Copies of this chain bind each other. A is one copy, B any other.
Amino acid sequence: MYLRAISFLRRQGQDYVSSRDLADQLHLKSPQIRKDFSYFGAFGVKGIGYRVDTLIGRIREILKLSGTQKAALIGAGRLGKALALYPGFGLYGFEIVEIFDVSPKKIGKKIGNTKIQSIKHLGNLEKRGIRLAILAVPAEAAQETAERLVEGGVRGILNMAPCYITVPKRVRVQTIDIAMELGILPYYV
């Protein structure tokens, strides 16, 4: 969250930012931000604020986002296609290098510059330098596909299906349930 906000400031040409400014923008209190940044290792300047470049570098370092991260996309449906061509991954240095699907009709076709492969070729992702996967398959297929990803050596899964998936402890899953997020809104409205 900080990385996104501060990258935005850099694009606007800002060199320094104070905890107060960031707090206002992110709807947080300023001591919260100073505490967090102090955990990162202190590098603010009293009277001035934090240097934007330093912050971005440090946060990327902590999140292990330095350099480019290769990712695989599983599922070339409507959502998968949208994700394959989504420009927002660039900010974090992600690149979708392989796309998989079950449907014979889709296999062999291209999305952007990437050819859709059969899901049978999921093995050995690790040896191809891929540790992350985006799972954009129907909920019914999510668990099974996740297991094949784990076999293939994937260490992190971004699950777009509206269900929990169970994986070994060494694998991290982050689930985005779009409908659920929408479902939160009526309560407050």
Contacts and interface: CB of A to CB of B under 8 A. Distances in A.
Interface string A50-86: 0000000000001111000101000001110111011
Given A25-B164, A94-B179, A179-B92, A186 B156 contact: yes
Interface string A82-96: 110110110110100
A182 interface: yes
B63 A178 contact: no
Copies of the protein in its oligomer: 2
A27 interface: yes
A65 B186 contact: yes
Contacts of A163: 4, 8
Interface residues of A, number: 54
A123 to B, nearest CB: 19
Interface string A150-189: 0000011110001110000000101011111111111111
Interface string A131-155: 1101000010000000000000001
14 contacts: A4-B177, A5-B164, A27-B164, A64-B189, A69-B186, A78-B81, A78-B86, A89-B182, A92-B179, A94-B179, A134-B182, A158-B182, A172-B185, A176-B181
